Amino acid sequence: MIDAVVQAAVGLGVIISLIFSELLGASAGGIVVPGYIALHLDKPMQILGTLIISLLTWGIIRVVGRFTLLFGKRRMVLSILIGFILGWASRLLVFHELTIHQLQMQSIGYIIPGLIANWFERQGFWKTLSTMSIAAVLVKLMLIVIFGGEV
């Protein structure tokens, strides 16, 4: 059941991303990002952790871009690599059992922060964040309908 939900989330995320891209001219932070964000909407600390890592990655990319020619594939690969490293580090630095509940402010996946950071650089923070948020909520709603609330 879990595999079917993940597959449906990613597939629906790709479809919604393509529709947003074609109709609105706005990307949802990468074609697979809305599906993965939708799967974690019940974990706000992970979403916050992902956004923080994406912002750190974006900042590093902006600094590196001042000293090198950084565009296209180079920027994309560097964004994913830095996002991967920071996401991996976030998993090592997770604060467990800080209170009665666990506070897990780690990234979602390893490449998601890098994809988001790349789109922050390409189309801006607010446009990416708003498009990604709307797409993720739409995917989540579709998952709830498809799986009868068993998500």
Question: Does residue 85 carry a pLDDT above 50?
Answer: yes
Question: Does residue 93 carry a pLDDT above 90?
Answer: no
Question: Does residue 104 carry a pLDDT above 70?
Answer: no
| Angle subtended by helix axes 44-67 and 72-92, to nearest 10 | 140
* Encoded tokens for 138: 């739409």
Name the residue ranges covered by the structural domains of the chain: 2-146
- Global pTM reads 0.88
| Angle subtended by helix axes 125-146 and 112-123, to nearest 10 | 130
